Amino acid sequence: MSDTAIRAERLCKTYRIGQRREIQNTLRDQLTESIKSAFRRSKKTSTVDDSFWALKDVSFEIPHGQNVGIIGLNGAGKSTLLKVLSRITEPTKGYARIEGRVGSLLEVGTGFHWELTGRENVYLYGSILGMAKHEIARKFDAIVDFSGVEKFLDTPVKRYSSGMYVRLAFAVAAHLEPEILMIDEVLSVGDLPFQQKCMQFAKNLQQGNATILFVSHNMFSIKTMCKRVIFIKNGQIKFDGPTDDGIRVYEKECRLDNLTWIDSDPEDWPIHLTDIALHDEEGRTKNIFDYGERMRIKLKFHGRREIKRPNIIVAFIRSDGVACCNFSSALDDVDVPAICEDGGLELLTPPLKLVSEMYTIHVLVREEGFQQAVCAQVGMTFHVRHSTLDTHFGVFHEPAQWVWNPGEEAHSPDIDARSNTGSFVE
């Protein structure tokens, strides 16, 4: 066996989006096309298929025993890369060579059959991963114990929660004893004790010289698990090297990017965000904030034509894509003057009560009120830090006021609704 566990050479993967417009030969075809055209945007009248390149000329080598984090924004090509390496999908061009027994956990329930029970799916999924029937039988009790779903083992998995899916699927993959393990963000679905168990399992694999590819938006997990990262943007490798350097490149490269969902050409936008800076309340530059800190956000815009009474929206998007909160100048009754040239805006947030995670700032400008969007850009990323509060506690945490009434209903009219001190009321 060579020293290289995974070698990718000029991997490319393209997908077709849209359909070729065919000639209508029948009345039914003509009626169907006329109905479709009523809902089709007028600008999308091309007669050729559009192609989307999820991967473009991706090349790298990973030696045995190395943990590598795969990072990038949503839609960058991270999951596609793991699917190609796992042979779930074929590359359009290029090739990958893998030496070693591969275990992969790419999507919740991948390899499971909806109608079969958990017990039956252990054998099915184990077989898909390459385990012999006698090997699965020998490890069956250990798999069930690891998963923690013994009570529901003879229940069809269509009745499982997403967390139960993940626990059982990971338990099977874990007991494959893989030499190469590929994980795609799904562990965030499991509960905290199980997530810790999986992390410890991955560390044990690493000590046994296993190779791990780990896709995650959580930079804290990436720093903990990996000494090397591969940063992918628009299907291409933008960085391959030490983790700390890669995360800095990732955060810099994503800064001021255009958000793709807005239905207009960025070149036609009348306003562009040209700079964003994050500070604490006293004005010190930083991008890691402790829970409860206030953040000062400074924005700079370039105006190409006048927009009267624009609504400036600043949104915080968690690393898993959850929109956590946003601030709107219109909702806050801030009268922003017309933007027709270069200018700036400063926002001081309330105390950040978001749970510990990485967040991306999205900046959106709409015409007066909540009318047409005229600018939508990625600002930059920041982290909220707390030793206990993570995504298992939800999106945010505010202390409540508690009342202890032995033998009575837990309700008291004496609670001051304005108080946010987490204490008991006597």
Per-residue pLDDT tens for 215-234?
A: 887 777 788 889 999 999 98
Per-residue pLDDT tens for 201-218?
A: 777 887 888 899 988 877
How far separated are the first and last CA of the chain, in Å rounded? 70
Q: Among residues 91, 131, 111, which one has the least CA distance to residue 235?
A: 91
Number of H helices, E strands in the chain: 8, 19
Write down the pLDDT at residue 300.
92
Q: Among residues 351, 236, 225, 237, which one has the least CA distance to residue 296?
A: 351
Q: Which CATH class is domain 266-393?
A: mainly beta
Write down the pLDDT at residue 372.
87
Residue 371's contacts (CB-CB under 8 Å, 6 or more residues apart) are none
Q: Which long-range contacts (CB under 8 A, 24 or more apart) does 130-139 make?
A: 130/101, 130/102, 130/176, 131/176, 139/175
Q: Which long-range contacts (CB under 8 A, 24 or more apart) does 202-208 make?
A: 202/67, 205/178, 205/181, 206/65, 206/67
CB 380 within 8 A of CB 251: yes
Of 37-41, 93-97, 288-292, the poorest mean pLDDT is in 37-41
Write down the pLDDT at residue 390.
82
CB 163 within 8 A of CB 189: yes
Question: Do β-strands 211-215 and 67-71 pair in parallel, antiparallel, or remain unpaired?
Answer: parallel
Per-residue pLDDT tens for 8-62?
A: 999 999 988 655 444 445 544 554 555 545 444 444 444 445 778 999 999 999 9
**Rounded distance between C-alpha atoms, residue 392 and residue 355, angstroms:** 9
- What are the DSSP calls for 330-342, one per residue? TTTT--PPPB-SS
Question: Do β-strands 323-328 and 236-242 pair in parallel, antiparallel, or remain unpaired?
Answer: unpaired
Give the residue extent of every domain in the chain. 4-34+46-253, 266-393
Of 129-133, 238-242, 256-260, the poorest mean pLDDT is in 256-260
Distance of CA 301 to the CA centre of its chain: 28
Domains 4-34+46-253 and 266-393 share a fold: no
DSSP E strands, 304-395: 311-318, 323-328, 343-348, 357-366, 373-385
**Taking the CB of residue 265, how many other CB atoms lie within 10 A of it?**
9
- The model's confidence at residue 120, banded by pLDDT at 50, 70 and 90, is very high
Write down the pLDDT at residue 41.
46
Write down the pLDDT at residue 21.
45
Write down the pLDDT at residue 379.
87
- What are the DSSP calls for 84-135, one per residue? HHTTSS--SEEEEEE-S-EEEE-STTTT--TTSBHHHHHHHHHHHHT--HHH
3 state SS of 31: helix
Per-residue pLDDT tens for 347-386?
A: 999 999 999 988 989 999 998 888 888 999 988 889 899 9
Structural tokens at position 32: 């169907």
**Rounded distance between C-alpha atoms, residue 230 and residue 145, angstroms:** 34
Alpha helices in 208-262 (DSSP H): 219-225, 243-253
Buried b (16+ CB within 10 A) or exposed e, 388-414: ebbbeeeeebeeebeeeeeeeeeeeee
Write down the pLDDT at residue 31.
47
* Residue range 312-318: mean pLDDT, rounded: 93
Write down the pLDDT at residue 303.
87
- The CATH H-level (homologous superfamily) assignment of domain 4-34+46-253 is P-loop containing nucleotide triphosphate hydrolases (3.40.50.300)
pLDDT, averaged across the chain:
83
